[in-house]
């Protein structure tokens, strides 16, 4: 038996009906590993050792309302765990970056961390798509109001999104002639103090934004399409979108193949690509989700595939 550490949001906030972190914990336990958990605030150093105030967990079968039993918390070196999975949700703020730096120090002491802390720090989930310009829609990153107005003039229908959000929070759709452009620009950029990402609006969003999972550089054969509710632009489930599990399309497979080798070579064991139509719009590396929905609909378990991939590397 090997001990695995999961760095997560507070356990009480995790939802077994949809949370991939719980699914991965359950798959790790089924593979014979002992599951431990901590929050980013439970990481510390003592001299050159990176320690975690970690709690051992017993994960109950799927369907149980009470999904875990907790043991007694202990202080352990992060390097004493066979694997550490960084599963904290965004925002990737100062506290998040501190945790990444601590986990990177733990790697120097022999810890095995996925996704690699430096890789997460280097790949903002919006900006990372710019590494693959042939796969994305027309995109601009700026905080200048004139740049935003110019991009709208060029494309006529655009999306404005923050660089550090999740779940569709803070995303605006703006069309040519929209009299709210000024206030949207002020709000999104914090009056010119925060960069935003602009993308040409993709009408294929009506058919869903599909989350494509890459596990050790390989595409899982099914994805979760998030379909906007009527009158809404965002397909995010947190924004009221409807999820539909579908086999990957040829275009989605091609995008995954183009990105997969890069992910494997750069310490990104688990990545969630967001694809609308034939274009990649986001590159999620912090805590990609949708495993529970895929397993429930297909009987194929992405979490088990991930655990097996980590076991192979270990």
Instruction: Give catalytic residue positions.
Output: 126, 161, 211, 226, 234, 274, 282, 284
CA dihedral for 196, 165, 104, 259, sign (positive or negative): negative
Tell me, rounded to whole angstroms, the distance of Cα 132 from its chain centroid: 18
Six-digit token string for 192: 């010119």
Angle at 247 between CA 246 and CA 250, to 5 degrees: 125
């Amino acid at each position: 038996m090997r001990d695995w550490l999961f760095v997560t949001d507070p356990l009480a906030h995790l939802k077994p009906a949809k949370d991939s972190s719980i699914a991965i914990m359950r798959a790790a336990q089924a593979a014979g590993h002992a599951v431990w958990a901590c929050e980013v605030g439970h990481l510390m150093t003592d001299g050159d050792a990176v320690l975690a105030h970690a709690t051992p967990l017993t994960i109950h079968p799927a369907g149980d309302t009470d999904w875990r039993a907790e043991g007694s918390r202990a202080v352990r070196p992060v390097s004493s765990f066979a694997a550490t999975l960084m599963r904290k949700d965004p925002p990737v703020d100062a506290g998040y970056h501190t945790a990444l730096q601590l986990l990177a120090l733990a790697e120097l002491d022999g810890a095995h961390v996925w996704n690699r802390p430096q890789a997460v720090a280097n790949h903002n989930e919006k900006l990372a798509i710019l590494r693959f310009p042939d796969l994305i829609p027309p995109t601009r990153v700026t905080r200048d109001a004139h740049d935003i107005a110019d991009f709208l003039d060029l494309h006529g229908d655009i999306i404005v999104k923050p660089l550090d959000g999740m779940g569709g929070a803070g995303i605006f759709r703006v069309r040519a002639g929209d009299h709210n452009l000024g206030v949207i620009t002020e709000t999104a950029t914090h009056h010119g103090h925060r960069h935003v990402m602009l993308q040409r609006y993709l009408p294929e969003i009506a058919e869903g934004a599909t989350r494509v999972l890459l596990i050790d550089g390989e595409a899982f054969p099914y994805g979760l399409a998030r379909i906007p509710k009527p009158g809404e632009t965002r397909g995010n489930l947190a924004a009221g979108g409807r999820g539909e599990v579908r086999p990957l399309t040829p275009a989605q497979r091609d995008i995954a193949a183009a990105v997969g080798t890069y992910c494997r070579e750069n310490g990104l064991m688990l990545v969630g690509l967001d694809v609308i139509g034939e274009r990649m719009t986001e590159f999620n590396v912090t805590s990609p989700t949708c495993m529970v929905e895929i397993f429930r609909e297909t009987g194929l378990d992405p979490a088990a595939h991930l655990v097996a991939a980590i076991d192979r590397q270990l």
